[in-house]
Amino acid sequence: MARKVVNRKELRAQADAAEARDKTEGKKEKAPKAAKAVKEKKEKAPKEPKTAAKKTVRKKVAKETRLKAYWGVFNQSMKRLVLFEYADKKAAEKKASELTASSRATHFIQLVKEAIAE
């Protein structure tokens, strides 16, 4: 639905005319009107609805899982071929170079972290 366009110039002209009328009527009559206008504004102000108190929700604490680091030898398609202990990095590099030399595909090592089952 289309809204009616507000002409600001006409509204300003009406406001100026109203101010001019108030000045000519006198200050005694202006004060009671202002007080009535303030009361009407207070009465017309919408009351804010009361909001219900929020319920406190406890979040589940995530169980911390321990991880262990390994060196994995991978091919180009990211398939893990061999797994070495973290301390055996030299052995993992040696295995990767042997696999690269024996085939056309390149092999590389990458850090792998796996959860420890307790």
Q: pTM of this prediction?
A: 0.46
C-alpha torsion 101→103→108→114, nearest 10: -130
pLDDT in tens, 39-77: 555 566 566 777 778 888 888 888 888 999 999 999 999
Q: Which of 73, 83, 66 is nearest to 103 (CA)?
A: 73
Q: How confident is the model at residue 90 (pLDDT cuts 50, 70, 90)?
A: very high
Sequence spans of domains, the chain: 11-37, 67-115
